[in-house]
């Protein structure tokens, strides 16, 4: 490491001059890049180097020598430990500005697209927006705690006052900690593979206030009886559905295949705009419904449907975007790999009395190949893939179908930019890029890209 401009455990002073796509500040020592979490553009900082690689280093903020006027005091008492809301130190309007810049930088650097993104769509109140939380467990001084792991560790940070969740969820977290401790519930240890209760998932409907609880266990037996469940429902009347998920895997897998209804309803119901959605224990659903509505309305605006179009919604999940577009299009086809999600899509379709949708199970690229053989025209293609983005086969088949418009939704800018580069080299122009702040106070960015065939 002697040939590097920085040395491990040494302190350096420099100015933050840009951001990474993960929201870290970037400074330079003799033109050598140093990533520093918790910093803001144009701040002069003193940093201790904690990691040195071939082309960059990582540093820990030791002192802010010259502070940004947009630096704020984080509201969360465990902000410096948790790492989840890693932008709380930045005033919210500057968070939105930063995210717009990160989108533009990724599209330019990776996608070769010199485009000015639209201002990021933010929230009026960027707190308490999450409708789902996966809580880990630990025992501290004999008491069970629910919380989240520190970054790159299995050290638990308590979360009973997390400001991303409603006050109802925070009260429920504290209640569960007390009751599970009282009943001496066995907590699963990922290192020794001993214990039973692996985690708890809480889902909350923002439209009805209903709450679903899922206890994730290693074993089929759970030391929770009818008295516990009756008291839970009595003390928290919003709790209308309680499940157990059995996950016997020794690997770091979130859920097992088997769900057991312990108490109450089989599902809860939420809404995005005027549309209703059924949420089962295994359902994927947008964690921020107000921002999901903003995103979907922007998709409808960009598509500008006349009522005569055929739309394909690939990677459609539980059909939320498909349902939003169905009222404006002639027909919508939703493609999804997960069978459970497709079942939920059909349920949501019925729930909203829509008849011009069809959903199909399977790999999107394989299904599109069959569509190509049928030679049917498609006016609009929606692509909302997982973080890894689209396979080359998926992109090739999309191009062969020749949709007039592609609406690409992504939560991972590097793969979005990569795929846009390929599409713009094969018959499409990128016209608009719209960041949507789906996860305020965090570095995560959702982006809608609007491409048209030339």
Active site members? 411
Q: What are phi and psi of 153, to 5 degrees?
A: -155, 175
Q: Record the tokens describing residue 343, joined without a space.
A: 């079942």
Sheet containing strand 197-204, edge to edge, reads 156-158, 143-149, 132-140, 197-204, 211-217, 239-246, 258-264
Contact 359, 319 (CB under 8 A): yes
Please tell me whether residue 283 adopts helix, strand or coil conformation.
coil
Tell me which residue of 201, 360, 207 sits closest to 277, measured CA to CA: 207
Please tell me whether residue 408 adopts helix, strand or coil conformation.
strand
Q: What are phi and psi of 358, to 5 degrees?
A: -135, 140
Partner residues linked to 48 by β-bridges: 11, 60
Provide long-range contacts, Cβ within 8 A and 24+ apart, for 18-23: 18/105, 19/98, 19/101, 19/102, 19/105, 20/102, 21/102, 21/105, 21/106, 21/413, 21/414, 21/443, 21/445, 22/443, 23/86, 23/87, 23/98, 23/102, 23/442, 23/443
Q: What are phi and psi of 312, to 5 degrees?
A: -110, 125
Contact 412, 77 (CB under 8 A): no
Cβ within 8 Å of residue 421, ≥6 positions away: 110, 111, 112, 113
Q: Cα–Cα distance between 367 and 77 in angstroms, integer?
A: 49
């Amino acid at each position: 490491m002697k040939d590097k401009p920085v040395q491990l455990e040494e302190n350096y002073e420099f100015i933050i001059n840009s951001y990474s796509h993960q929201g870290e500040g970037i400074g330079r020592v003799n033109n050598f890049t140093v990533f520093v979490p918790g910093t803001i553009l144009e701040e002069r900082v003193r940093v201790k180097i904690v990691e040195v690689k071939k082309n960059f280093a990582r540093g820990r903020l030791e002192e802010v020598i010259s502070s940004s006027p947009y630096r704020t005091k984080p509201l969360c008492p465990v902000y410096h430990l948790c790492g989840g809301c890693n932008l709380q130190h930045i005033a919210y309007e500057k968070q939105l500005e930063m995210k717009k810049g990160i989108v533009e930088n990724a599209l330019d650097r990776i996608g070769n697209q010199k485009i000015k993104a639209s201002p990021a769509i933010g929230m009026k109140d960027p707190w308490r927006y999450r409708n789902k939380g996966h809580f880990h467990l630990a025992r501290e001084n004999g008491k069970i705690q629910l919380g989240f792991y520190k970054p790159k560790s299995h050290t638990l940070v308590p979360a009973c006052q997390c400001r991303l969740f409603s006050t109802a969820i925070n009260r429920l977290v504290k209640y569960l900690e007390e009751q599970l401790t009282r009943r001496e519930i066995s907590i699963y240890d990922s290192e020794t593979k001993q214990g039973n209760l692996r985690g708890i998932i809480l889902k909350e409907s923002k439209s009805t206030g209903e709450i679903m609880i899922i206890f994730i266990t290693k074993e089929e037996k759970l030391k929770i009886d009818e008295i516990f469940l009756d008291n839970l429902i009595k003390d928290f009347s919003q709790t209308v559905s309680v499940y157990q998920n059995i996950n016997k895997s020794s690997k770091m897998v979130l859920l097992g295949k088997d769900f057991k209804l312990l108490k109450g309803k089989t599902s809860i119901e939420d809404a995005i705009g005027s549309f209703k959605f059924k949420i089962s224990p295994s359902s994927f659903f947008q964690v921020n419904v107000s921002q999901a509505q903003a995103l979907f309305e922007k998709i409808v605006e960009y598509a500008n449907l006349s009522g005569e179009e055929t739309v394909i919604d690939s990677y459609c999940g539980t059909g939320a975007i498909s349902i939003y577009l169905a009222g404006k299009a002639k027909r919508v086809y939703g493609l999804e790999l997960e069978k459970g999600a497709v079942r939920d899509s059909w349920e949501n379709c019925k729930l909203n009395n829509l008849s011009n949708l069809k959903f199909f199970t399977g790999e999107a690229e394989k299904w599109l190949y069959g569509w190509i053989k049928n030679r049917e025209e498609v006016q609009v293609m929606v692509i909302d893939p997982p973080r890894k983005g689209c396979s080359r086969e998926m992109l090739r088949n999309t191009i062969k179908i020749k949709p007039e418009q592609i609406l690409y939704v992504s939560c991972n800018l590097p793969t979005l930019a990569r795929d846009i580069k390929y599409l713009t080299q094969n018959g499409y122009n990128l016209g608009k890029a719209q960041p949507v702040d789906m996860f305020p106070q965090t570095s995560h960015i959702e982006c809608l890209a609007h491409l048209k065939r030339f």
